[in-house]
Amino acid sequence: MIKKLIKNLIRSFGYNIQKIPKEVNEISINEILGLTLPSNSVIFDVGANQGQSIKNFKNIFPDSKIYAFEPSKEDFEILKKKYHGDQNIVLNNIALGDKKENKLFNVMHKSDTSSFLNLNKNSEWLKYRSKSLKIPEKDYIKNTSMVEVDTIDNYLKTQKIDKINCLKIDTQGYEDKVLMGCLESLKNNTIDIVVAEIIFDNVYDKYLTFLDLEKHLVTNNYRMAGINLTNNNIFRGLVFFADVIYINKNILKNTN
């Protein structure tokens, strides 16, 4: 009786209690990285924004070498102020994609949502974000700028880098293009782990599916090893995305 009352009380606050089976042992993506990779890992942070991931990676891998890529000039200036003089952090004011080119980039008022993709102008997300920032929906895109785009395969060759332990991609719907630009590296087992964000909701005029990522990863000897899901549907809430980790099967063999 008491258990039922407690459950009902918790449900009234929008939560639910569910017993976790004994065989379930959840760990975070950060924990998976820490268990799998060495402290001096080489990390590519694609979509570094203002350094949130750099700080996270440095906590996990204090001796790591981080190559950060951020096309927004404003965010790049923030990165320079934060990490100027750190020899283990290489900052690149470019984007990564499927080919070398110059491409128009949408800079948003909420900078971590900046993207090569166009916004879905009819989304509830845009209405909510614009209202919270106190700007008209039509002005959510602050400006557009032409940015340099390179590929990972080309960057590795020009910089003479022969290994990426962790490739993190958070590019607001451009993750598949980044993977297309490193197919040679994926095929040659140059990259140990890929951590990618995948957006399923209606923020942009395009959304990705697991197939968009896995057609480049599964065929090159990678398998999904973990997922951190935000929301689980498109019917309730404004966001629906996940951070997914894929590990080269050769690395998995060495950790088991």
Domains within the chain, CATH numbers bracketed? 30-255 (3.40.50.150)
| Amino acid symbol at 174 | Y
Question: What is the separation, in whole angstroms, between the first and last Cα of the chain?
Answer: 45
> Would you say residue 256 has pLDDT above 70?
no
Q: Tell me the C-alpha distance between 61 and 30, whole Å.
A: 10
Give the residue-averaged pLDDT of 178-182.
98
The token duo for 13 is 């606050």
Q: Is the pLDDT of residue 11 over 80?
A: no
Q: Is the pLDDT of residue 20 over 50?
A: no
Quick one: which of 14, 39, 12 has its CA closest to 237? 14
Give the pair of three-digit tokens for residue 153: 């395969």
pLDDT band (50, 70, 90) for residue 4: low
State the CB neighbour count (10 A cutoff) for residue 156: 20
Which whole number is the average pLDDT over 226-245? 93
* pLDDT averaged over every residue in the chain: 91
Indicate the residue type of 115.
S
More confident position, 4 or 250: 250
Burial state string for 226-253 with b = 16 or more CB within 10 A and e = fewer than 16:
beeeeeeeeeeebebbbbbbbbbeebee
pLDDT for the residue 138: 93
Q: Please, which residues bridge with residue 246 across strands? A: 194, 224
pTM, entire model = 0.89
Q: What is the mean pLDDT of residues 66-95?
A: 97
Find the helix or strand (DSSP H, E) in which 154 lies.
helix 152-159
Q: What size, in residues, is the chain? A: 256
| Close Cβ partners of 219 (under 8 Å, ≥ 6 residues apart) | none
- Burial class of residue 129, CB neighbours in 10 A (0-12, 13-18, 19+): buried
Looking at residue 233, its pLDDT comes to 93
